[in-house]
Amino acid sequence: MTPAIATTMPAWVRRAYGPAAGTRLEQLPVPVPGRGEVLLRVQATALNAGDVRLMLGDPLLVRPVFGLTRPKNPVRGMDVAGTIVAVGSDVVGAELGEDVIVELPGGGGLASYAVVAASRVVPRPPDITPEIAACLPIAGGTAWQALDAAGAGLTSQATPRVLIVGASGGVGTFAVQLAALRGAEVWASCGARNAPLIEALGAVRTVDHRLSPLSELPAGRFDAVIDIAGGIALRELQRLAAPGGSVVLTTGDGGHVMGPVPRMLKAAFLSIGRGARIRSLAATSRPEVLRELLALVADGRIVPVVEREWPFDAAASALAHVEAGHTVGKVVVRGA
């Protein structure tokens, strides 16, 4: 028998843009799934740097889409593992009682229940826990798409040389593992405290991003440079890439108003010249990639790195931890 669904639920809410400190636990109505939607009982939600950007409304450029003066959805949490407890009309291929994972681009995971498009959910194999599965959609999906975006730089060599700039966070820890799995010789920049972890994940060499500037690395050494950290001059990244190689920018760094846009425009301009092509990645929700990532986790070929799991009651602290910018791998909040 399907358990009864309450009419209200606890949810972590921040009604105005601002830091995690202003996030409060409130009772909200349980959402009702509409056409093509399902209702999930949330089991685990993994947090991302993107949750912090939406929480802060920074850059301002995101506000026309996510809420001009305040967030349209005041509940953060975009990577969710849950159980389908109600099904809207015209839903095909998603079953009541099924355990799934999904990306919610507008957030909503830091609550007991969340409504999602049925077409976006991917079944969670029973041997992968909700806490591990929730790590995959955005961080794993972005790392996967960044390596795809490197294109010929990665596929034209038997053992391509890849540099992951900023390897210790959510995207970075997946990028190192996936690049190694694709047969690359991986170098990575990270803080000294995280070097043993990043080497265990598959990097053959790490450089300390605080003590060793990338300018000390040889020019033209890498078939692909994946920048997850930001803050490094584009010409410097381009210098590191081999002829025919590429630079992929995943980071959303930039100014308070336009965010990464000026850097993306400059990247496009620099790519016209003789240097390596620089590509700015806007990763999208890709259920087929999620299925591939789940299969790799099930086979033990990649291992999501979870820095810490937080109970639901401490979700605001988990958000504050991600906001501080030093997450190692992923931060996960267990369901209420």
Ligand X SMILES: NC(=O)c1ccc[n+]([C@@H]2O[C@H](COP(=O)([O-])OP(=O)(O)OC[C@H]3O[C@@H](n4cnc5c(N)ncnc54)[C@H](OP(=O)(O)O)[C@@H]3O)[C@@H](O)[C@H]2O)c1
Interaction residues for ligand X, span 38-97 (CB under 6 A): 48-50
Beta bridge partners of 247: 225, 278
Q: Which of 251, 286, 302, 310 forms a contact with ligand X (CB under 6 A)?
A: 251
Provide, rounded to whole angstroms, the least separation between the CB of residue 135 and ligand X: 10
Q: Cis ω on the peptide bond leading into residue 3 (within 30° of 0)? A: no
Q: Based on the shown chain and the rule CB under 6 A, indicate whether residue 248 belongs to the binding site for ligand X.
A: no
How far apart, in whole angstroms, are the C-alpha atoms of residue 260 and residue 257? 9
Three-state secondary-structure class, residue 62:
helix
Interaction residues for ligand X, span 103-142 (CB under 6 A): 138-139, 142
Q: Which of 83, 177, 246, 327 forms a contact with ligand X (CB under 6 A)?
A: 327
* Residue nearest to ligand X according to CB distances in the complex: 169
**Closer to ligand X at the Cβ: 85 or 207?**
207
Residue pair 208/168 in contact by the 8 Å Cβ criterion: no
What value, to the nearest 5°, has the Cα angle with vertex 24 and ends 18 and 29? Answer: 115
CA-based nearest residue to 86, from 3, 187, 173, 175:
3
Q: Quick one: which segment of 27-35, 237-245, 280-288, 310-318 binds ligand X (CB under 6 A)?
A: 280-288
How far apart, in whole angstroms, are the C-alpha atoms of residue 295 and residue 135? 14
Q: Quick one: which segment of 67-75, 99-107, 238-246, 278-286 binds ligand X (CB under 6 A)?
A: 278-286
Q: Quick one: which segment of 9-17, 111-119, 281-289, 310-318 binds ligand X (CB under 6 A)?
A: 281-289
Parallel, antiparallel, or unpaired for β 79-87 and 113-117? unpaired
Q: Which two tokens stand for residue 52?
A: 């912090």
Interaction residues for ligand X, span 158-217 (CB under 6 A): 166, 168-172, 189-191, 209
Provide, rounded to whole angstroms, the least separation between the CB of residue 97 and ligand X: 31
Q: Which of 40, 55, 203, 229 forms a contact with ligand X (CB under 6 A)?
A: 229
Question: Residue 86: CB partners within 8 Å, gap ≥ 6?
Answer: 5, 32, 33, 38, 39, 96
Provide, rounded to whole angstroms, the least separation between the CB of residue 303 and ligand X: 16
Q: Quick one: which segment of 37-45, 55-63, 233-241, 319-327 binds ligand X (CB under 6 A)?
A: 319-327
Q: Cis ω on the peptide bond leading into residue 71 (within 30° of 0)? A: no
**Closer to ligand X at the Cβ: 48 or 177?**
48
Beta bridge partners of 10: 27
Provide, rounded to whole angstroms, the least separation between the CB of residue 252 and ligand X: 3
Residue pair 258/264 in contact by the 8 Å Cβ criterion: no
How far apart, in whole angstroms, are the C-alpha atoms of residue 277 and residue 246? 5
Residues found near ligand X in the complex (CB under 6 A) = 48-50, 138-139, 142, 166, 168-172, 189-191, 209, 228-231, 250-253, 281-283, 322, 325-328
